[in-house]
A and B are shown apart, each in its own frame.
Chain A
Amino acid sequence: DAGVTQSPTHLIKTRGQHVTLRCSPISGHKSVSWYQQVLGQGPQFIFQYYEKEERGRGNFPDRFSARQFPNYSSELNVNALLLGDSALYLCASSLRYTEAFFGQGTRLTVV
């Protein structure tokens, strides 16, 4: 069975640029969440989507946005990148209020 897949696995961007990260959930899972993890910290919640609607938003600036498509895949967009946006971005899928399964993450480096 395919797990949660994220692309790309690594990315290097320059300050001020825009980035799009992609996630395909486990088949049958309708909930997708995004988390940011900086070195030495636990993952921090960014967004949750369920049935293509935003169901939760963490404490992140408006430069961060996301959407979920009819096939339940999702994109996370970050505008006007800052050095502090460098992190491991994790996507998780779940049925809804059940255990979440994570992808391998996208390592974003902003230079």
Chain B
Amino acid sequence: EDQVTQSPEALRLQEGESSSLNCSYTVSGLRGLFWYRQDPGKGPEFLFTLYSAGEEKEKERLKATLTKKESFLHITAPKPEDSATYLCAVQAEYGGSQGNLIFGKGTKLSVKP
């Protein structure tokens, strides 16, 4: 069964304290892995797509990496405005869930000034 597990469920950081969020996945052929940011009551905001192991993408203080079994979202010197829930999703190439996104439960990040 295709599934995504994110850890930790919640993370509290001080402003400037770098850390990483984890996304472990099992999928019938990975078409793509996606990271989203979601603010309370809003729709997810697209951040990155990763397609193959070894790939990395960066945007401001965020950097996403991908291996064959997991992805990491590294946050460098976070600011309070980075506080949000970060969602990881995979898209399968084969099987019953082909084409749709399978999401993890998310990591709720809080950054205190």
Instruction: Give the contacting residue for B100; candidates A41, A45, A98, A103; CB below 8 A.
Output: A45
Instruction: Give the contacting residue for B103; candidates A42, A97, A98; CB below 8 A.
Output: A42
In the complex, chain B residues whose CB is within 8 Å of the CB of A35: 101, 103
Q: Complex formed: what's the CA distance from A4 to B103 in Å?
A: 20
Q: How many A-B residue pairs have CB under 8 A?
A: 64
- Give, as a whole number of angstroms, the nearest-CB distance from A51 to chain B: 13
Is the C-beta of B13 less than 8 angstroms from some C-beta in chain A? no
Q: Report B79-113 residues with CB < 8 Å from chain A CB.
A: 87, 89, 91, 97-106
In the complex, chain B residues whose CB is within 8 Å of the CB of A101: 46
- Chain A to chain B: the 6 pairs with minimum beta-carbon distance, closest first: A42-B103, A102-B43, A45-B100, A105-B43, A102-B44, A99-B49
Chain A residues proximal to chain B, CB less than 8 Å: 4, 6, 33, 35, 40-45, 48, 55-56, 58, 88, 90, 92, 96-105, 107
In the complex, chain B residues whose CB is within 8 Å of the CB of A41: 105
Q: Complex formed: what's the CA distance from A33 to B103 in Å?
A: 14
Q: Complex formed: what's the CA distance from A42 to B89 in Å?
A: 9
In the complex, chain B residues whose CB is within 8 Å of the CB of A48: 99-100
